[in-house]
Structure 1
Amino acid sequence: MITFGIMSLNMDSETSYFDGIARNAHACGIQCFRFIPSQIHPHTLQVKGKKFDLELKNWVDCEFPIPSILYDRCFYGDDEHSKQCIPIVSWLKSRDDITFLGYGLPNKLELYEALRSSVLSAYLPRTYPVLDITALLKEIDKTKEIILKPINGSQGFGIYSVKKNDKTFHVKTEKNKKVISRIFPNDAKLITWLKTLLRQHKYLYQPYLELSNDNSQPFDIRIFLQKNETGVWVERGKGVRVGITGGILSNLSAGGSAIDFSTWLAALPAHNKDFICSELEYIITHLPPLLEKAFLPLFEIGVDIGLAKNGSLWILDMNSKPGRKVLMQTRKNIKETLDLAPLLYGKYLSQTDLQERKNLYEKTLSN
């Protein structure tokens, strides 16, 4: 029987999803385990975690060898436990006897550099690292508004818009599902704030794009892609995420809501529908092979597409560990498909003589 391990940083994360996977595992010829990377004993290589008991239909404490197929659902922060787990996962990715469903993607800046000369370059907002505050101020002075993003950020954390109004600067972000605004009266005050911000995280900046609807709500299109039981990329679904009025984020974790894509599309003029669908199809056809050519094999990708007021489409983010809330809220019968997908692809990997490319594994830990 295939041993399939789900890794997370704590045993309380994504419980409904992991339970759904485990309940379907036996029928696929798979024994399902879950564990935290730091619970691998460095000498015996035994893991203290949980296995799914078919009779009890529940997880039970267990000690077991490292499973041969691993599904990485670790979301790292700046805490000590994350720092402890990162090198362990890196070591696991380097082992020839272990196969990951997907090997992850690097940070936002590396993703941009990898795609900026590709056929998708026209869909990428210009992206630059924040290396010098003086240069950043010149950019703000020239364009009047920019977006600041953490290079390793996720779920909209730490994103700011910075807008120049005459001599003052308006900085806006979202925290606890509320829009937070600050006005800095001059360059000096803004520089002090920026220095504090940049000591905490590495940042990039992008031009500000008009990505709000007629109600001043930010919105984007989330596309969920996965490999199927034969290793072929398929689209599991699309949804539209709508943020709070006057905000800058559409993430559901930031208070956004999800709308069925077909319902949203039906309200658009016919010529807009055809253009948007054609553009989205072009993006999702080319993106997965480009990413896997530049980096390592993947299993799933969440792609966020912004639609500007001038009709242009922009790839805002790519995530190798996407959430499922948008699909779960907009497609009633999708849960079983999503629960089965990791198992079926894991079974495919175990039955094929694939030589996974692992020479760049150390670059894939930020997602």
Structure 2
Amino acid sequence: MSYEGVGVLVPSAVYKQIPQLSGNLKSMFLLFEQAAEKNKLIPCYIKLSKLRPSKRSVVAYVKTTNGYQLMRVPRPSIIYSRIIDISQAVRKRIRSLSQEGVTLFNIPNYDVEKYKIHQLLLKDEIISKHLPQTEVLTKQNLRKMMTEYDSLILKQNYGERGIGAMKLEQRNDFWTLTYKTPKMINFKRLHFSNILPNILEDHIENGHYIIQERIKLATYNGAPFDMRVAVQKDGEGKFKVTGIMCKVAKKNHFLTNGSEGGQTYRLDDIHSQAIPKIPLHVLQKTISIFTIRVAHHLEQYFPHLADLGFDICLTKEGTPYFIECNFISDYVGGLFQHQKLIHDEWSKVFTTPFDYARYLMNQKKTRKEE
């Protein structure tokens, strides 16, 4: 088998760093290249604006003995997308490339609003039992949810890394809102009874937030945790779980994100303390069956999904709940420390997409020969 080029579509910010890669990004690219080598593939790192449907070649960064070099290469027939831009211009270009026979997987042609994903998952009878009640933030919905639950999470309908997330808790005769604006270093707490704080009124007016029932999470060392579960298509074209990364919140915090001080652990490391009544292999199987079902369900609505990262939480009884979907499975900052993977087993999160790329390439060749 001869070596063939595979495209890796990267965001502009990453593309600019490629000539002088450093830190965790460099470590991630090394894993890409090792996986490509195993599959006899040559990664060609591409920026979308360089891909023109009318051209059979493209300028891409390719790793050489002299580092990453920009060169013009034949346009790859298989391209792994790592961008999340969903603008109309991006969609139009991707459609044009697809019409010319280029296969892009994990293409960003979906609406990633959290509420829309929630509505789609409600259609599956089994998945719907594992969803926190979720509503668009309006004054009416907020008042309704405040009568039904004593703890709520408010977050941006479209957003990442927990930015802008707020906690609302009832204590005796008053409510406490815990929040932080982008300009604030520490969280602030506001107490109120009937009159909503101005910051809530502002978010209601802007219409960019959702409200979720706050699931009582299992804890590790007294802190709540959730999980990033990587669900990817493998070298046989099938969804499988390639990594379970537990994100444990900082003491006295409600967000598990690394940007808020959360720490990443293997499920093996925290299982015996967090959920001791359920054997580890049973818990892993439960998480795997559930998340793969979610992946198959979403695939009905969004074409060419292959690299998903689900945020999943567990109750103390080990029941999984779906929090939200990320259309790229990895989160580099949480898996690397000092430019090395915290645990070697998580390397599959970065290497499996190249197994799938080889599978697609072989499928395409078979069809040509028939």
Q: What range is the shorter-chain TM-score in?
A: 0.7 to 0.9
Instruction: Measure, in 1, the Cα distance between the counterparts of 2:115 and 2:323.
Output: 12
Partner AA of 1:51 in structure 2: V
- Mapping 1:95-174, distance limit 5 Å: 95-96=98-99, 97-104=101-108, 106-118=112-124, 119-130=126-137, 132-165=138-171, 168-173=174-179
Asked if structure 1 preserves the Cα contact closer than 8 Å seen for 2:82 and 2:328, the reply is yes
Asked if structure 2 preserves the Cα contact closer than 8 Å seen for 1:168 and 1:183, the reply is no
Q: CA deviation at 1:226?
A: 1.8
Query: Paired residue for 2:10?
Result: 7
Pick closer, same or farther for the CA change 1:27–1:238 going to 2, 3 Å: closer
Within the candidate set 308, 312, 324, 1:301 is matched to: 308
Q: CA deviation at 1:261?
A: 1.3
Pick closer, same or farther for the CA change 1:334–1:7 going to 2, 3 Å: same
Instruction: Measure, in 2, the Cα distance between the counterparts of 1:46 and 1:185.
Output: 62
Pick closer, same or farther for the CA change 1:254–1:68 going to 2, 3 Å: farther
Query: Paired residue for 2:272?
Result: 266
Normalising by structure 1, what TM-score? 0.79
Asked if structure 2 preserves the Cα contact closer than 8 Å seen for 1:7 and 1:70, the reply is no
Deviates more, 1:8-17 or 1:38-47: 38-47
Query: Paired residue for 2:90?
Result: 89
Normalising by structure 2, what TM-score? 0.78
Provide, for residues 49-108 of structure 1, a one-character-per-residue CA deviation record: whole Å limited to 9, x for no partner.
42222x32x2112345653322222245xxxxxxxx733431233132221222355322
- Mapping 1:163-202, distance limit 5 Å: 163-165=169-171, 168-173=174-179, 180-185=187-192, 187-190=194-197, 192-198=198-204, 202=208
Pick closer, same or farther for the CA change 1:214–1:309 going to 2, 3 Å: same
Query: What SS does the aligned partner of 1:140 have?
Result: helix
- Mapping 1:66-77, distance limit 5 Å: 66-75=75-84
Question: Structure 1 unaligned runs (5+)?
Answer: 77-84, 355-367
Query: Paired residue for 2:70?
Result: 61
Partner AA of 1:62 in structure 2: M
Pick closer, same or farther for the CA change 1:25–1:116 going to 2, 3 Å: same
Instruction: Say how many residue pairs are matched.
Output: 341
Asked if structure 2 preserves the Cα contact closer than 8 Å seen for 1:147 and 1:207, the reply is yes
Partner AA of 2:83 in structure 1: C
Asked if structure 2 preserves the Cα contact closer than 8 Å seen for 1:305 and 1:314, the reply is yes
Partner AA of 1:7 in structure 2: V
Query: Paired residue for 1:364?
Result: none
Partner AA of 2:48 in structure 1: P
Partner AA of 1:35 in structure 2: I
Asked if structure 1 preserves the Cα contact closer than 8 Å seen for 2:135 and 2:141, the reply is no
How well do the aligned residues superpose, as a CA RMSD in angstroms?
3.3
Pick closer, same or farther for the CA change 1:26–1:138 going to 2, 3 Å: closer
Pick closer, same or farther for the CA change 1:45–1:110 going to 2, 3 Å: farther
Pick closer, same or farther for the CA change 1:185–1:339 going to 2, 3 Å: closer
Instruction: Measure, in 1, the Cα distance between the counterparts of 2:181 and 2:199.
Output: 17
Instruction: Measure, in 1, the Cα distance between the counterparts of 2:31 and 2:177.
Output: 42
Asked if structure 2 preserves the Cα contact closer than 8 Å seen for 1:174 and 1:254, the reply is no
- Mapping 1:317-332, distance limit 5 Å: 317-325=324-332, 329-332=341-344
Deviates more, 1:253-262 or 1:310-319: 310-319
Instruction: Measure, in 2, the Cα distance between the counterparts of 1:278 and 1:28.
Output: 28
Provide, for residues 154-194 of structure 1, a one-character-per-residue CA deviation record: whole Å limited to 9, x for no partner.
2222211122446644222467996502214454452x312
Instruction: Measure, in 1, the Cα distance between the counterparts of 2:283 and 2:74.
Output: 48
Within the candidate set 270, 285, 289, 1:282 is matched to: 289
Partner AA of 2:255 in structure 1: L
Provide, for residues 295-354 of structure 1, a one-character-per-residue CA deviation record: whole Å limited to 9, x for no partner.
22321222222122465431122222022555555522543x444322221121122149
Q: CA deviation at 1:269?
A: 6.7
Partner AA of 2:248 in structure 1: V
Query: Paired residue for 1:227?
Result: 233
Instruction: Measure, in 1, the Cα distance between the counterparts of 2:275 and 2:144.
Output: 40
Query: What SS does the aligned partner of 1:272 have?
Result: coil
Pick closer, same or farther for the CA change 1:98–1:214 going to 2, 3 Å: closer
